[in-house]
Amino acid sequence: MNLIQHYVGGELITGSSNRRGKVFNPAIGEQKSEVILANKSDLDKTVTIAKKAFESWSIKPALQRARVMFKFKELIEKNSEELTELIVSEHGKVYEDAKGSLIRGLEVVEFACGIPQVLKGEFSENVGTNVDSWSMRQPLGVVAGITPFNFPAMVPMWMFPIAIACGNTFILKPSEKDPSCSIKLAELLKQAGLPDGVFNVVNGDKEVVDAILENKDIRAVSFVGSTSIAKYIYENAAKNEKRVQALGGAKNHLVVMPDCDIDGAVNGLMGAAYGSAGERCMAQSVAVAVGDIGDELVSRISKKVETLKVGPGMDKNSEMGPLVTKEHLEKVKGYVDLGVKEGANLVVDGRNIKLQGYENGFFIGGCLFDNVKKDMRIYKEEIFGPVLSVVRAKTFEEATKLINEHEYGNGVSIYTRDGDAGRTFASKIQVGMVGINVPIPVPMAFHSFGGWKRSLFGDSAMHGVEGVRFYTKLKTITSRWPSGIRSNPEFVMPTMK
Ligand code: NAD
């Protein structure tokens, strides 16, 4: 059985824990590897190594750190096939989707290549007579990232390229369900010339996460995962005096206005609801049909969902792969059962799909509910599977009220030809990432990614300038170089003369 180790101080290590987790190939439903689940002692030793590496890495000129990122970018491109296959083999999503997610991560590396530019501070000459003031941003120290299963390359890459380029050292705790990609990325960073100990991967589960939260030398924690764990991370990291950004779950709506380009909306919804089998925090799992467009929308989508090609991720013909684990498959099926019990109309039922040759794979076909109501659990809770709920709303105002009252606020979209509706929507909607005639409004690397409400705990979104701010602290210097006689002591609050 393949054993997935930790990557610490520039080498693979097994550590001292004898706990192991199972990593599956979801397409065939068989265990593929065993992953070591680290303990507190493994984590603490890693922090000591990362802390030592910080001493020399943090004082390297930003330009030299950026050069490592340039080399890393090249290596990701060269190894993109292997990285993509690793994602498909442990996560299950289809090849092109996995490759796309790697590219979205690569874009953050490209942003980090320009770090000298974004690290520049501000300078004011003569804030008082012969007194100058300037600010600079300095790295924090050892920082940690805890990431979910659904984007094993992209989500870690939202974090570490910027953290490292800013001069921090990094400990990644990837999802124990698909950890191999992180190890490969660590090896590529070493090849790119990153000094040992600057980037480390410690595999594990709650035990090592708690050790991260408790370790006094970890200065900041970035987390992406479900809302209950995000809240736990936020509270406990803050309690232990760490800076924290904790991105949680989602329930994203796509508003279909009666005047919209219906083909565009249907195609957008198909990708946004069923892409990556709905295992995306930006999946649009609720379509809000406004006015009289509901019947046509449901009829068009149902035809497409019925013919959705479900299959293994490595098959180029597959449009949708399996779910990540058997437990997750059971959970998603459970939600479909629940929706039926709650009285929603199950228009397409994907629960009983069987694929020849892949009978044990964790597959479910696309499911479509109509007439979902706002008090149903299938509307309120994140399902994280290929299940789209259509909710009917009489007016634009009713649709926006529905969204604004939802506990999550990650992403949202509207399809309309009415500029006033689009503009009002962008202004009034209580959601962090908004699309207008765009199905999945994921911000590019040079903007920042983050939701509102219970989709993000903390003050900073990920990557872009928000990422740079998160991974650096501000220092402001006020200086005077007196010539001749030294100034007299001042016993009152000084004002700049
Ligand atoms: P998860 O919360 O189960 O796990 C995320 C991380 O937390 C993993 O590394 C896991 O090992 C760790 N973890 C799990 N249980 C823990 C516990 N009890 N104590 C401490 N740590 C624990 O999430 P997941 O199932 O891996 O990922 C899916 C979730 O992530 C969905 O809710 C999805 O919406 C969310 N997500 C959000 C975003 C975003 O940007 N907001 C992006 C991707 C995924």
Q: What is the pLDDT of residues 359-381, one digit of tens each?
A: 999 999 999 999 999 999 999 99
298-341: pLDDT as tens digits: 999 999 999 999 999 999 999 999 999 999 999 999 999 999 99
In this prediction, residue 396 carries a pLDDT of 98
Quick one: which of 87, 247, 215 has its CA closest to 144?
Answer: 215
Q: Do domains 2-248+455-477 and 252-436 have the same CATH topology?
A: no
- The best mutation among 280, 281, 332 to test binding of ligand 1, ranked by most ligand atoms within 8 Å of the C-beta, falls on 281
In this prediction, residue 477 carries a pLDDT of 97
**Are 188 and 164 in contact, with CB atoms under 8 Å apart?**
no
Nearest-angstrom CA–CA distance, 393 and 411: 19
C-alpha separations of 424 from 289, 308, 360, 403, 429 in Å: 18, 35, 48, 14, 8
Q: Enumerate the β-bridge partners of residue 287.
A: 254, 390
Nearest-angstrom CA–CA distance, 279 and 113: 30
SS3 224: strand
Q: Which atom of ligand 1 is nearest to the CA of 410?
A: 41
Sign for the CA dihedral angle at 325, 330, 334, 337 comes to positive
For residue 136, the CA-to-ligand 1 centroid distance in Å is: 34
For residue 224, the CA-to-ligand 1 centroid distance in Å is: 6
Name residue 364's amino acid: I
**Are 182 and 134 in contact, with CB atoms under 8 Å apart?**
no
Enumerate residues lining ligand 1, CB below 6 A: 146-151, 155, 173, 175-176, 205-206, 209, 224-226, 229, 247-250, 281, 382, 384, 410, 451, 455
In this prediction, residue 496 carries a pLDDT of 64
Q: Which spans in 275-418 are helix H?
A: 294-306, 326-342, 377-380, 396-404
In this prediction, residue 497 carries a pLDDT of 62
Q: Would you say how long the chain is, in residues?
A: 497
Quick one: which of 477, 493, 480, 475 has its CA closest to 128?
Answer: 480
106-156: pLDDT as tens digits: 999 999 999 999 999 999 999 999 999 999 999 999 999 999 999 999 999
- Examine the residue annotation and report whether 113 is marked as an active-site residue of this protein: no
Token pair of 403 as six digits: 């969204």
The mean pLDDT value for 5-21 works out to 98
457-489: pLDDT as tens digits: 999 999 999 999 999 999 999 999 887 656 677
**Are 92 and 26 in contact, with CB atoms under 8 Å apart?**
yes
The mean pLDDT value for 155-160 works out to 98
Strand 30-36 relative to strand 284-290, pairing: unpaired
pLDDT-derived band of residue 495, with 50, 70 and 90 as boundaries?
confident
In this prediction, residue 482 carries a pLDDT of 80
In this prediction, residue 491 carries a pLDDT of 79
Residue nearest ligand 1's atom 30 by CA: 225
Quick one: which of 155, 170, 194, 183 has its CA closest to 70?
Answer: 194
The mean pLDDT value for 422-450 works out to 97
pLDDT-derived band of residue 1, with 50, 70 and 90 as boundaries?
confident
For residue 450, the CA-to-ligand 1 centroid distance in Å is: 15
SS3 350: coil
For residue 407, the CA-to-ligand 1 centroid distance in Å is: 17
Token pair of 134 as six digits: 């300037």
The dihedrals phi and psi of 71, each to the nearest 5 degrees, come to -65, -40
Nearest-angstrom CA–CA distance, 164 and 198: 7
* CA-based end-to-end distance of the chain: 73
The mean pLDDT value for 420-434 works out to 98
**Are 279 and 94 in contact, with CB atoms under 8 Å apart?**
no
Q: Which of 113, 181, 281, 367 is catalytic?
A: 281
Residue nearest ligand 1's atom 13 by CA: 206
Any idea where the domains of the chain sit in the sequence? 2-248+455-477, 252-436
- The best mutation among 175, 178, 440 to test binding of ligand 1, ranked by most ligand atoms within 8 Å of the C-beta, falls on 175
Nearest-angstrom CA–CA distance, 412 and 425: 10
C-alpha separations of 320 from 271, 274, 310, 311, 348 in Å: 10, 7, 5, 6, 16
Token pair of 16 as six digits: 């001292």
The mean pLDDT value for 234-249 works out to 98
41-89: pLDDT as tens digits: 999 999 999 999 999 999 999 999 999 999 999 999 999 999 999 999 9
In this prediction, residue 203 carries a pLDDT of 98
Tell me yes or no: is domain 252-436 CATH 3.40.50.620: no
In this prediction, residue 21 carries a pLDDT of 98
Tell me yes or no: is domain 2-248+455-477 CATH 3.40.605.10: yes
In this prediction, residue 418 carries a pLDDT of 97
Token pair of 293 as six digits: 């467009």
Q: Render the burial of 80-119: b for 16+ CB within 10 Å, e for the rest.
A: beebbbbbbbbbbbbbebbbbbbebbbbbbebbbebeebb
How distant is the alpha carbon of residue 52 from its chain centre? 28
